[in-house]
Structure formats: structure tokens, C-alpha cells
Amino acid sequence: MKQKLEEIRKDALAAIEGAQDSAALENLRVSYLGKKGQLTAVLKQMGKLSAEERPVIGQIANEVREALGGAISAQAEKLEKAALALRLKAEAVDVTIPGTPVELGHRHPLSLILDEAKDVFIGMGFSIAEGPEVELAEYNFTRLNTEEGHPARDWGDTFYITEDSSVLLRTQTSPMQVRAMETMPLPLRIIAPGRVYRKDEVDATHSPMFHQLEGLVVDKGITMADLKGTLETLVKRLYGPDSVVRFRPHHFPFTEPSCELDVQCFECKGQGCRVCKNEGWIELLGAGMVHPKVLEGCGIDTEVYSGFAFGIGLERMTMRRFSISDLRLIFENDMRFLAQF
Ligand code: PHE
């Protein structure tokens, strides 16, 4: 029996040391120390021993049980440590590995110019207004002193939404003048940037969709001098303090008098070159004093109030600013083009 116990001790210790995981270890515990285990089976036969042998074998049996129990705990601890080490290794983060770069986008050239213009106007006390791109002909034309039958209302130039020509895609941001005068208290100082639509074929200078920035000031004692000062400030801020501007008489139905603003060609300083098509000047925007009929149509007393308005073509501004030769580049979203800004 003593021999049997020693055998069990030897086999069990070897098996325990070789156990590779906690499940195997638990199996070993059951098979040696469990109720039906090998050691227990030996102990159950103690009764057959003589009175002299019993305490001797009993002591050995106890030693074996303790040895096995100790070995199992030790192995369990060892396995736990190994598992932890493995996990730490697996979950370790190598902080020296270069990260995956996050590609930061940037603003579109048109947005750059729009944001700059907004900054300039906000600095002069303007606020920003927004309005619908699907507009009533009433606002887009009629109330801007552009009566039924006016050539600007032609179906060939305008995207009408309804057969009766009462709803359309706005052809200009100028309806925002009427919307602002109708809803906002005087004095008024707003800009209204946004998309406008005209039935133009796409080419280097035309697109059926483009952007304008409308401006409107209505207050007591507003004159052409305010218009000139405001727009000259804008141009000098956007194109540099040395820019030279000129105001040229023009016609718009909703302003009187009307003008266009040209900036002297930056390329040739007015001598005439390819950029300005030999003109020496580059047209930037339309403007004028708000027509009394338009003011009165919005219930404004023209004996007390006067105003000026302007409309800037944002694509044109952007193209001039960055020397972009083809309008289509602005809308094609070719990364080789956009990445340059
Ligand atoms: N709406 C005009 C256009 O599209 C520009 C303009 C705006 C002119 C405001 C005068 C005043 O050409």
C-alpha cells in the first residue's frame, strides 16, 4: 500500500506539472483527490491494515494528499500567471507604431471667397439672410420691377417649375431684397448668399447653377456714396489695398441709378492683356440705389428711407482671385484641382 501511495504521488505530481490549463488541472484534482479519486480509494482500504501499519500509512497518505494539493495550487498559480502574461502581450499597444493618418479636408475655393466676403460684411455691421431657391416669380421678377413680358422672364432663360410661370428656380438672389424688406425691421443691412439658376449651356464661363451674394442696405439718408464706399472696401479687402475700382453706368429694373463695378486688371494694371481680354478692367458685380417702386412695394416710405443693393457673382470673384481659367473646374470636384487651395 505504501508503494501504491508513492506511485500515486509520483504519477500525480508529474501529471500536475504537465497540466496545460485550469480545466486539465481540475480533472487531475478530481481523479486523485475527489470522492472517487485514486488516493481516496487507497484510504478507503486503510481498514484492512494492521494496527501498527495504519498510523504509518495514514501519515504517508496525508503527506501525499498535502503534496498533491500544494502542487495543484502551485500549478494553478503558474497557469494563471502565464495566461496573464499572454494576455498582456496580446493586448499590448506599441505606441511607437506610426498612426493611421486622418485625412483632413479643407474648404472649397468658392467657400473660401464666400467666407472672406462674409467676414468683411459682418465687420461692417451686416447680418446674413437666407431664402428659398425655389422662388415665386412674384419675388424674383414682379416685385423687383420686372413686369410680365420683360425679356428676363423668358422661358428660354429661366427654369420654371409650374406651367403658369408662377414658380421658378430663382435666377438671382435679388428676391431676397424683397423678402428682407418685408420681414425685417429698418434699418436693414444684410447679405444673402446662395445658389441661382439660369438656362445656360455649360462652358468656361457659364453654368446653369452658380452662386451670387446679394447685399442690401436700407436706412435714412443712404446715398450712392455709401454704395461706393462699401463696395470699394470689399474689393480692397479681398484683392489687396492697391486694387483700383471703377463704377460704370448700367441698367437693372430694380435699381435706379444702376452701375457695374469693375476692378483694374491685376495682371496688366489696366494695360490690356489676355486675362482681361484687352479691356484693362474686369467686371465684378452689379449694384445700384434701390428703385423707389421696389421700396414702396414693401411699404417703405421713400421720403424717409433710401437704400442700395448689389449682387456679386461668387464664381467670377473666385476665378479672378485664384486665376482659375475655367468655371467648370469649380464644380467638377477633381481632387488634383481642389488640393491646391
Ligand atoms: N441681380 C442682378 C444680376 O443678377 C445683380 C444686381 C443685384 C444688380 C442687386 C443690382 C442690385 O445681375
For position 48, what pLDDT does the model report?
84
Give the sign of the dihedral formed by CA 119, CA 123, CA 124, CA 130.
positive
3-class SS of residue 285: strand
- The Å distance, Cα 153 to ligand 1 centre, comes to 15
Beta bridge partners of 188: 218
Nearest CA to ligand 1 atom 9: 310
Which ligand 1 atom sits closest to the C-alpha of 287?
10
Closest listed residue to residue 189, CA positions, set 250, 111, 131, 129:
129
Which ligand 1 atom sits closest to the C-alpha of 258?
10
- The model's pTM: 0.72
Beta bridge partners of 305: 220
CA 225 from centroid of its chain's CA atoms = 40
Nearest CA to ligand 1 atom 12: 286
- The Å distance, Cα 175 to ligand 1 centre, comes to 10
324/335 Cα distance (integer angstroms): 15
Which ligand 1 atom sits closest to the C-alpha of 313?
4
For position 337, what pLDDT does the model report?
95
Instruction: Spell out the per-residue pLDDT of the chain, length 341, in tens.
Output: 888 888 888 888 888 888 888 888 888 888 888 888 888 888 788 888 888 888 888 888 888 888 888 888 888 888 889 889 888 988 888 889 898 999 888 999 999 999 999 999 999 999 999 999 999 999 999 999 999 999 999 999 999 999 999 999 999 999 999 999 999 999 999 999 999 999 999 998 899 999 999 999 999 999 999 999 999 999 999 999 999 999 999 999 999 999 999 999 877 888 988 778 899 998 999 999 999 999 999 999 999 999 999 999 999 999 988 989 899 999 999 999 999 99
Please confirm whether the linkage preceding 109 is cis (ω < 30° from 0): no
216/254 Cα distance (integer angstroms): 12
* Length of the chain measured in residues: 341
Fold of 109-338: BirA Bifunctional Protein; domain 2 (3.30.930)
**Hunting for cell 470673384 — which residue is that?**
317
Mutate to test the pocket of ligand 1, among 140, 169, 172, 234 (most ligand atoms within 8 A of CB): 172
**Domain limits of the chain?**
2-90, 109-338
- The Å distance, Cα 214 to ligand 1 centre, comes to 8
Mutate to test the pocket of ligand 1, among 252, 254, 260, 315 (most ligand atoms within 8 A of CB): 252
For position 273, what pLDDT does the model report?
85
Closest listed residue to residue 262, CA positions, set 230, 229, 232:
232
- The Å distance, Cα 228 to ligand 1 centre, comes to 15
Nearest CA to ligand 1 atom 4: 172
CB-defined site of ligand 1, < 6 Å: 172, 174, 252, 255, 258, 286-288, 309-311
